[in-house]
Amino acid sequence: MTSFDSTKVAEIHRQLHAHLPSDSALRVKALESLLVEKGMVTAETLDAWVEAYSEKIGPKRGAHVVAKAWCDADFKARLLDDAASAIRELGYLGNATAHLKAVENTATVHNLVVCTLCSCYPFSLLGVAPNWYKTAAYRSRAVRDPRGVLAEFGVSLADDVAVHVWDSTAELRYLVVPQRPAGTEALSEAELAKLVTRNAMIGTDRDLAAQPGEGA
């Protein structure tokens, strides 16, 4: 006779459900499939919009803010003093940036942003949050072992560089202002913005560099 272990079956059931998408994700996927099936939108169009918001629209705004800070000392001072007011000048203030703090990387300081409770993030400046930012592993380890996490992103810091970890909340979110790359004195603000990465504005990227031929 086949044995039945209710405890084991319940554990298997729990593990299976732990790997399922959330209810909201399933609803979004169902709606997407229905719209594509009815010919109201194509899958390629949806993919293009997702890419635009995750890789272009948001990060470009943040990059503009950083590049302007690199070029305009007065704006940089205003940004570091009151980031929300400074980005309002550029028309970028939104619900996720009404309480924003800008923190600056220097030769002796590196800043790293995390949200330990959920995934609060200045999406109107940086676009859609990357998946790794939302994971429990990043949210816990960024606080306990920031240098180890940074090393996994390819950021190697000297012992004399202090690491400041900033914990975002619904009331206060952060923008890292990376150091301006050397040899970019001849670049325009628009050209500088192209060098700024989303990860640099979170703090998981540090040493930005001009592309070959730029700044020459």
pLDDT in tens, 110-135: 999 999 999 899 988 998 899 999 99
Q: Quote the number of domains for the chain.
A: 2
Predicted TM-score (pTM) of the model is 0.75
pLDDT interval class at 18 (50, 70, 90): low
Spatial neighbors of 132 by CB under 8 A, at least 6 apart, are 138
C-alpha distance across the termini of the chain, in Å: 80
Spatial neighbors of 104 by CB under 8 A, at least 6 apart, are 80, 111, 176, 177
> Which phi-psi region, left, alpha or beta, contains residue 147 (left: φ > 0; alpha: ψ -120 to 50)?
alpha
Residues 27 and 112 in one domain: no
Residues 120 and 196 in one domain: yes
The SS3 assignment for 158 reads: coil
Q: Is the residue at 1 inside a domain? A: no
Note whether 59 and 89 are within 8 A (CB): no
**Residue pLDDT, tens place only, 138-178:** 999 999 999 999 999 999 999 999 999 999 998 999 999 99
Residues 91 and 194 in one domain: yes
Residues 182 and 117 in one domain: yes
* Per-residue DSSP letter, 166: E
Distance of CA 93 to the CA centre of its chain: 17
Residues 23 and 64 in one domain: no
Q: Is the residue at 57 inside a domain? A: yes
Lowest mean pLDDT among 21-25, 47-51, 72-76, 115-119: 21-25
Q: Is the residue at 208 inside a domain? A: no
What is the rounded distance in angstroms from the CA atom of residue 101 to the CA atom of residue 105?
13
Q: 């705004």: which residue's tokens?
A: 61
Range(s) of the domain holding residue 120: 43-202
Residues 96 and 169 in one domain: yes
Q: Is the residue at 100 inside a domain? A: yes
Q: Which CATH number fits the domain that encloses residue 87?
A: 3.90.330.10
The predicted pLDDT at position 83 comes to 97
Q: Where are the alpha helices (DSSP H) in 19-54?
A: 23-37, 43-51
* Per-residue DSSP letter, 57: I
Q: Is the residue at 146 inside a domain? A: yes
Residues 94 and 21 in one domain: no
Active site positions, annotated: 115, 118-120
**Position 51 pLDDT exceeds 80:** no
The predicted pLDDT at position 188 comes to 97
The SS3 assignment for 117 reads: coil
Strand partners, 175: 102
The predicted pLDDT at position 75 comes to 98
Residues 62 and 24 in one domain: no
Q: Is the residue at 213 inside a domain? A: no
The predicted pLDDT at position 38 comes to 85
**Position 65 pLDDT exceeds 60:** yes
Q: Is the residue at 16 inside a domain? A: yes
Q: Is the residue at 2 inside a domain? A: no
Residues 29 and 71 in one domain: no
Residues 30 and 62 in one domain: no
Residues 61 and 144 in one domain: yes
* Per-residue DSSP letter, 56: I
**Position 187 pLDDT exceeds 90:** yes
Distance of CA 137 to the CA centre of its chain: 16
The predicted pLDDT at position 205 comes to 98
Q: By percentage, how much of the chain surpasses pLDDT 70?
A: 81
What is the rounded distance in angstroms from the CA atom of residue 200 to the CA atom of residue 166?
14
Residues 51 and 91 in one domain: yes
What is the rounded distance in angstroms from the CA atom of residue 33 to the CA atom of residue 122?
29
